[in-house]
Amino acid sequence: MDINQVFGGDSLKAADLQGREVTVTIASCEVKKFDNGDRLVIRFAGKKKALICNKTNAKRIALLHGTETAAWIGKQIGLHAEMVDFKGEAQMAVRVKAPTAPTAPAQPVPFTQAAHQPADDFDDPIADTF
């Protein structure tokens, strides 16, 4: 049996991202008490697992969407796995960043003879410096 099935719970881990960067929409944000203090628990629209948010990720979200957590609802963030130092050991952790903007497909540029003619401005003083 995989230990993640026993101890995985409903919190997001770096391994859950499987090396991908995902864009998610924040559905809720609440404070929950843990043994090591209060943490933000952020849930995402259409996702089962929640992000137990550390100070680093909270500050990153605040840079994107402000410090008021109620304003985060409905906003998008990017999640990816990143190598971090935790208690002197390197490990993978979930990190927040600005969501990757979808790229529009490249539009073909129509061929025009004028656009492909060599310039006749070789008398330009800048051209003489090369």
Domain boundaries, the chain: 3-97
What does the block give as tokens for 72? 């985060």
Average pLDDT over residues 107-115: 64
| Top-confidence residue, 124 or 25 | 25
Name the one residue in this structure whose structure tokens are 């864009």: 23
Average pLDDT of the chain to the nearest whole number: 83
Name the one residue in this structure whose structure tokens are 């843990």: 34
How many CA atoms does the CB half-sphere of 32 hold within 13 Å?
14
pTM of the model: 0.71
* pLDDT tens-digit series, residues 68-105: 999 999 999 999 999 999 899 999 999 999 998 765 66
Q: Is 41 helix (H, G, I), strand (E, B) or coil?
A: strand
